[in-house]
Structure 1
Amino acid sequence: MLDRAYGALVGGAIGDAMGMPASFFTREKMKDTYGYINDFIAPEAKEQSYHGGLQAGEITDDTMESVIISNVLINHGSFKIDPFNQAMKQWAIEQKMLETTVIGPSTRRYLTALIEGRNPEETSGDSATNGSAMRAAPIGVKYWNDLEGCMRAAAESSMPSHGSRPCVAGACAVAIAVAAGVYGGYTTEEVIDMSYDAAVYGEKIGKDITAPMVSKRILLAKRIVDENRDKGIEFILDELVGYIGASMYVYESVPLALGVFYAVDGDAKKGIPAAVNCGDDADTNGAICGNICGAYSGAMLIPENWKRRVQTVGSLDFMDTARKLMK
């Protein structure tokens, strides 16, 4: 169980770092620039305008924000909004995040409000991006044996910055998928179904906006995979991207990541590169898929050099974090 918790955290960081060079590339541009990404590579500086200054294996804001969530859970025993907001504000100021191009529009509004002393929840309901879903995995690790508490904490963690129905649904779906993986004993189909139920739960909480439903798109991703299993992973990826999309919108990113997880039967070694090679928001899609696959298959099945590289470059110890989260 600890290995699966570790897998969820380190898998997310691996997906983040592996997808970073291809962020916001189309599938065709990614193929022309890198071929098929199946390891850490340095971003092509001329083509990668968002992360061109990073080195191979370096994490982005996806992992940084999940680390903040982990620290709040560890230090306070559960998710607490005020310490989370304070930690995010401190991170934004110290890392000068508002001067970068890597954060999404919803996170930018949220951090701006915090720094200016305004209540970020006044505008968080207008969000439609994947910022709260990409940081939700530690909640799944913390609440691995309390699914109701997991959904509640995931929803609470989304509201300050991503308070719409799709965003809350996406955070709940990811957290529950991770919790189910850490708990163990479920099939990948059961994990998908649990994520659907969690998304439905989240869609009853957030602000209603004009956007597709994450829950229904999770079912669409499942159906696409079921109908095309005999045609190979590349065909499935084309279908998932073609029908669902791979952008930063949460109603694309989360169903896509879950679809890839389902297509590779939860194998993190296969799932992380597959999600990354969908292109577009490649680092976040890789992170979310890495979280879910890592929780399901465990860290033992993830290549040792991947785990070592991402933790060395980022000065992180995800085994220690996993152990503390599970106390």
Structure 2
Amino acid sequence: MTMPPAPTDLAAIPGTTADRALGALYGVALGDAMGMPGELWPRRRILDHFGWIDRFLPGPDGHFVVDGFVAGQVTDDTQQTMMLAGAILAGGGRARGEVVAEHLVAWADRVGATGGNFLGPSSERAIGLLRSGAPLEEAGVRGDTNGAAMRIVPVGVLVPSDDLDDLVDQVVECCRPSHYTDIAIGGAAMIAAAVSTAIDTGSVRDAVRAADRILDRAANHGNPAPGASLRRRLSMALSIVASDSDDDAVLQELYDVIGAGVATTEAVPTAVAIALMGGGDPVRTAVLCANLGGDTDTIGAMATGIAGAAGGFDAIPDELVATLESANDLSPLRDLALGLASHRTATSTS
């Protein structure tokens, strides 16, 4: 990918902020790659085929999306996260809908993302409309699935947690091209607020509280779409996680009651709850998501992005980072994370 010019004040980033910014973006890749083998398989099929996933595995033979993927390979979740981070930096450290749209279409063209099973329904529809010259709000007016939330971690890295109004504004800009509905914006704001708070506090519990609070600010943005309450689904998910049941039973209850599909109202509350269940440990969080069933790579990307923001890059073992980097072109990821963190630091001190 083409990188925008790097900011000149990287040395001003506090070490903790830099570590957690890196942890957030590498957390996306970790959760994505760990969840890749069982992507969109029912939970029972994952359990029958793999047993318990606790390491990187290749895509299963004949899988309708990831057949031929090697162990540690990421999906479009990480690719689109990197795309969005690059679009924000290209916009001078601000999310701008038109720039995001340009980068989204350019990414899809570069990797041949459309025309197969690679993209979610909202993104694929929006990219086709954008190519035809449709205005942003028309392209994204029906997008209510989890594609906006899955790639939104860069906004959480960019915006400090004491400026949640600006965070929502930038989430909205990121959602305009493909997911301009109140549900998608609300879900994306939940993930971004959780990441931002985790970077500032190092606490996944604080991050979960921020994910709930942000809905008051995000609720009135975008085209109204029918769907379940994100807040009530999150409350139910957190109650399930708070039970004394073992990991397998908790995951089954989340899968059965909250859901693990591509709907924002399923994937986002489940991801936030598993981030809490993982206790800020990126590896444990990624493993839990991989064994959940459903949209394992996307839920893994979101939940482990939050966990990585809380635990930091140092919480991800070197051998897992090495596998991720050997299986994928993640060479821009460090500069993207530090570039976003540089703008965050400049905002918080201005």
Please indicate, yes or no, whether the TM-score normalized by the shorter chain is above 0.5: yes
Q: Percent identity?
A: 29
CA contact (8 A) 1:23 1:282 kept: yes
Distance 1:271 1:117, change over 3 A: same
Q: CA deviation at 1:189?
A: 3.0
What stretches of structure 1 move > 6 A for 4+ residues in a row?
none
For residues 202 and 73 of structure 2, the distance between their equivalents in structure 1, rounded to whole angstroms, comes to 33
Letter in 2 for 1:101: N
Q: Deviations over 1:182-235 (max 9, x none)?
A: 11254x333212101213322211221221021221122112222x1x222221
Give a deviation string over 1:80-118, Cα, whole Å, max 9, x none. 111111111111222221122110110011110111222
Q: Which amino acid letter does the alignment assign opposite residue 335 of structure 2?
A: D
For the pair 1:195 / 2:247, whether they are aligned, the reply is no
How does the TM-score come out when normalised to structure 2? Answer: 0.89
- In the TM superposition, 1:1-327 aligns within 5 A as 1-46=17-62, 48-75=63-90, 76-145=92-161, 146-186=163-203, 188-226=204-242, 228=243, 230-317=244-331, 318-327=333-342
> Structure 1 length normalisation: TM-score?
0.95
In the aligned structure 1, how far is the partner of 2:325 from the partner of 2:96?
26
Deviation track 1:155-194 (CA, whole Å, cap 9, x = no partner) reads 22112211111100011000010001111254x3332121
Unaligned runs of 5+ in 1: none
Contact 2:88 2:100 survives alignment (8 Å) = no
**Cα distance in 1 for residues equivalent to 2:18 and 2:268:** 24
CA contact (8 A) 1:147 1:179 kept: no
Unaligned 5+ residue runs, structure 2? Answer: 1-16, 343-350
Count the aligned residue pairs.
323
Aligned amino acid, residue 320 of structure 1: D
Aligned CA-pair RMSD: 1.4
Distance 2:37 2:188 in 1: 24
Residue 314 of structure 1: how far off its partner (Å): 1.7
